Each structure stands twice: as structure tokens, then as C-alpha cells.
Amino acid sequence: MPRPSYTHLGGLRDVESFRRYLTEQRIEIPCDDKLISGEASPLAQSIHAGSNKVGNRIVAQPMEGWDGTPDGRPTEFTFRRWERFGASGAKLIWGGEAVAVRHDGRANPNQLVMNQHSQADLGRLRETLVAAHKRAVGSDADLLIGLQLTHSGRYSRPNAHDRQEPKILYHHPILDRRLNIPADYPVLTDQELREILDDFHKAAMVAAQAGFDFVDIKHCHGYLGHELLSAHTRDGEFGGSFENRTRFLREVVTAIHAASPTLSIAVRFSAFDTIPFCKDSSAEQSGVPESTDGLIPFRWGFGVNADNPLEPDLSEPIKFLSLLRELGVRLVNISAGSPYYNPHIQRPASYPPSDGYSAPEDPLAGVARQMKITRELKQQFPELVVVGSAYSYLQEFLPYVAQAVIREGWTDCVGLGRMLLAYPSLLLDVIDGRPLQRKSVCRTFSDCTTAPRAGLPSGCYPLDAHYKNSKDADRLKKLKAAKTK
């Protein structure tokens, strides 16, 4: 399949050219024509999430670093990353990174684990972030810090980065094949799920003791929480009906509320999905959807149209948000798809990660899709505080778009992922009226995704001197060279 032609944003001279490009391509993304600093900036406005006040609209999205100790505690790399998250000026820290609730649910052998033995270290991680935040903005007032709790389910690799040890909830006709999961591979039993549920509860209690303001019960990106939402074909208490597929969430939330009423609960979820994509056989290696022959109606997705699973269907995501509202959850973070099976949906990029494929669309279309769906959901749930995702591809135009989406109510807060690894203070520079550092802007090279796929720590190898000059950078270079041969 020929690669779609599109203009790389680095080739657009200024915001006027960017706005013109959006119009020409008929891509609907609101965009201001100038940056606003100081108190008048939409980014500087505070917002209330229940009884919590958040001092501005900037959110540090969770990002794992693959750099914890084998027993799940942070290392100096982790401390450095959290320090940079704090210095970003974001007043809402969404979990820092996914922290596993138990060893066998780690996505990699270096993922952090939340339990009694890591509590003090995770508390120190939080304190490091707060100290850096105070140094950057002068005060930690209205700073809200959460921890993202996870079990990696189908994507568990707790003991070796190159050995998958999946914990699956049902057999998926495409993902099982891709992961070489045989037909007789056991699915987690209801009893095993109840034990995991208990681990989420215990981990939340430890997070509260370590001083975190909230926990996110992660439901995105193909991990266990997300797979629960699509367990249409599973029998028993946790599969089939919407009620059963959300039982895990309801029970975790109820247990946490009962034991720790002051700990807030948040949920990040993949609000829509599409089928898994793979490379086509051409030299272009363009992304194409896997075949769904014989699989329609498609019963293995959440937020997808069962008759045409390339299209989103928001009816269940809307029910899910109604449920969150009923459960007293006020903070919601909207993401999409999975970095494993459809990265162009989840984190639009100019350059694919090593296990990805060339973008099957202008990555701006991917950014616009997440924005549009976030807007639709926000309109239906004005009382929820909604965080939007996937803005980093916008590069130097990100702040212009961020101002516009907040002013026009497309989202309440703008979440920064990759941009934070490359240029943590981008939006703070805007609020403080400092010129943008173009050289630091994330260009979506995807090295922060490629490195961990090879067992190396994640970080911004092209732009962050700490990684650029490391011995891991040489290993990454060799690995990429070998792939292109």
C-alpha cells in the first residue's frame, strides 16, 4: 500500500502556515494565532475536581521508564524523570507512570511495583517531584499527584524483557496469533481475578500512606483493565454483559472508598479502539488493518463498531462514563487503542517505533480523532474533569492548540506525554512568557518506545543529553541499524 503523503510539521514555517495546512487537509483542530502569557492564559486557569483544586490545565501524563530495580523500586533514572515531571509546572500529575500492583502483572522486569516494601521509595519519588515543582513555580499550592495502578494482563513480562508471560481474560482471534498464544492457554479464573482485585485495593492503601492524592485504576492500552472492558466472549462474573465487564472496576472503587474515603479515584481509559494493525509487505511497510474475515460482528473490542470495527462506537464508553460518575469518580483521562497493536491511534508519530509500521494516515488525523472524541465525551459529561491525550505530534504548534481547546471547552486539561520527556517546560514557558526552545521540541522519533522494546530504559535519546550521551544510546543506534538492514 503506498504511504500517504503528508507534510511533516517541522516543514511548516509558522502557526499561520499550520492553520492553513489544517484547512487545506480539512482536519478539524482548533488553533490560536498567538500565545498568551500570564494569568490571562487559558492554560493558567485553575479547575476543581470534586473537593480538589488543580492550579492549572497542564497534566503530566503517566510514562513508564523501564528503569526500576528488579524488586520494583525506583532508581536514580526514575527520580530524575519525576523531578522533570515536577519541574514541568503541571499542576496535575497523572500517576507519573504505571505501577504494577503485583510482580506477575509487570509489563517489564523494571516496572515499579506498589507494595509495603516500595512504599517509602515511592513516597520519596513524590517528594522529589514536589520539591522540583516548588523550585520551578515557587509553590506547591493546588498540585494534585496521583499514582497509576496497573496489571499488564496480556502484555505481562515480569521476569525478562524478551519473555512474555501473558495473563489473558479471553482468547482473542488476532492478538493470540500475534503473541503465539495457543488455543489451550489458560485464561485467568474468576478467583484469580478476585485476588488481583484485592491487590489493587491493597496498592491503593499503600499509595494513600505514601502521600498520593489519588490513584488511577488503569483501563487503557490493552492491559488487564482495558481487556476486561472488551471481555464480551468471557463466561462468568467478569465477562459478557456490560455489568459483568465493569464489575472489577466497581468492586475496586467501592473497596477503596470504604477503606480510605479521602483518597480520590481517577480512571484513564481507552475510549475507543480499532482492530490491530500490522505492516504490509511493501518496501514502505505501511500500516494496514489485520483481516477480520469471519470475525464480524467483532466481539473483541471496546468502543468499536462491531459491524465495522475500523470505526469507533461511543455507546459503551458513554455508559462507562455514566458509571464512573455514579461511583463518584471525577477525574477521567481519555486515551485510545494500544501502543502494542495500533500505535498510530494511541500516539500519532512521524517515525514508527521498531515494532510498528509507517503511519497509515497523516498523524494529525490521529491527533484530531482523539480530540474530537474527547470533545464529544466532555460535552456529555460537563461535571467530570476530562484530560485529553496525544498532543505531542503537534510539536511547536502544541501550545497554540492547547490554548484553543481549553478555551473552547474541547477538554478541561491538556495531557503531555512524549513532549514532557523532550521538553518538560514547554507550556510553563508559554505561561511565563519565555520564548519557545525549538531545538527541544519532541519530533516524535519514537526512540522512547523503541528503546524499551529492546530492554533499554525509556527516555528521549535524540534530545535529552542524559540519554543522548549514554552507552544505551550506542546500543539503541546499533539495534536500529540492524533493523533497517
Ligand X SMILES: Cc1cc2nc3c(=O)[nH]c(=O)nc-3n(C[C@H](O)[C@H](O)[C@H](O)COP(=O)(O)O)c2cc1C
Residue 62: which of 90, 43, 42, 102 has the closest Cα? 90
Least distance to ligand X, CB of residue 63, Å? 4
Report the 10 Å Cβ neighbour count for 109: 18
Asked whether the beta carbons of 426 and 434 are under 8 A apart, the reply is no
**Does 473 help bind ligand SF4 (rule: CB under 6 A)?**
no
Which CB, 36 or 398, lies closer to ligand SF4? Answer: 398
Contact partner, 445, from ligand SF4, ligand X, none, Cβ < 5-8 Å per class: ligand SF4
Residue type for 156, please? S
230 binds, among ligand X, ligand SF4, none (CB under 5 to 8 A by kind): none
309 binds ligand X (CB under 6 A): no
Instruction: Write down the least CB distance from residue 337 to ligand SF4, Å.
Output: 17
Shortest distance (Å) from residue 114 CB to ligand X: 13
The binding track of 441-470 with respect to ligand SF4, each residue x by CB under 6 A or -, is -xxxxxxx-----------xxxx-------
Residues 404-433 that bind ligand SF4 (CB under 6 A): 418, 421-422
Q: How far is the CB of 446 from ligand SF4 (least distance, A)?
A: 5
Shortest distance in whole angstroms from residue 191 CB to ligand X: 27
Residues 205-264 that bind ligand X (CB under 6 A): 220-221
Among 110, 115, 118, 148, binds ligand X (CB under 6 A): 148
Q: Which does 62 bind (CB under 5 to 8 A by kind): ligand SF4, ligand X, none?
A: ligand X
Closest CA to 195 of 238, 148, 145: 238
- Please choose, out of 171-179, 335-343, 403-411, 438-446, the segment that lies near ligand SF4 by the rule CB under 6 A: 438-446
Residues 73, 81, 151, 418: which binds ligand X (CB under 6 A)? 418
Min dist CB 13 to ligand SF4, Å, is 21
80 binds ligand SF4 (CB under 6 A): no
* Interface contacts to ligand SF4, rule CB under 6 A: 418, 421-422, 442-448, 460-463
* Interface contacts to ligand X, rule CB under 6 A: 61-64, 97-98, 148, 220-221, 268, 335, 347, 389-393, 416-419, 448-449, 458
